[in-house]
Structure 1
Amino acid sequence: MKAVLNGTVIAEASKDDLVSIEGNWYFPPSSVKPGHLTESPTPYTCPWKGVCQYFTVSDGTVSLQDRAWSYPNPMPSSFERVGQDYSNYVAFWKEVQVVD
Structure 2
Amino acid sequence: MKAVLAGTVIAEADDADLISIEGNWYFPLSSVPDGVLLTSPTPYTCPWKGEAQYYSAVVDGETHADAAWGYPNPYPSAFERVGKDISAHIAFDPRQVEVGP
Q: Using the alignment, how far apart are the partners of 1:86 and 1:2 within structure 2?
A: 18
* Pair 1:99-2:96 in alignment: no
Identity %: 61
**Helix, strand or coil for the counterpart of 1:98?**
strand
Deviations 1:10-51 (A, max 9, x none): 111001110000000000111111111100001111110000
CA contact (8 A) 1:50 1:73 kept: yes
Q: Distance in 2 between matches of 1:90 and 1:11?
A: 10
User: Cα RMSD (Å) of the superposition?
Assistant: 1.0
Runs of 4+ in 1 over 2 A off after TM superposition: none
Consecutive unaligned residues in structure 1, runs of 5 or more: none
Residue in structure 1 matched with residue 75 of structure 2 by the alignment: 75
Give the Cα separation in 1 of the matches to 2:18 and 2:77. Answer: 20
* Counterpart position of 1:64: 64
Structure 2 residue identity aligned to 1:99: G
Matched to 1:81, the amino acid is: R
Q: Give the letter aligned to residue 96 of structure 1.
A: V
In structure 2, the residue matched to 1:21 is 21
Q: Quote the Cα distance in structure 2 between the aligned partners of 1:2 and 1:81.
A: 25
Give the length in aligned residue pairs.
100
Q: Show the counterpart of 1:46.
A: 46
Deviation at residue 88 of structure 1 after TM alignment: 2.5
Corresponding residue number in structure 2 for 1:32:
32
Distance in 1 between the 2:88 and 2:73 partners? 7
TM-score when normalising by structure 2: 0.93
- In structure 2, how many angstroms separate the alpha carbons of the residues matched to 1:77 and 1:93? 23
CA displacement, residues 48-75 of structure 1 (integer Å, 9 cap, x when unaligned): 0000000011212332111100000000
What stretches of structure 2 of length at least 5 have no aligned partner? none
| Structure 2 SS opposite 1:80 | helix
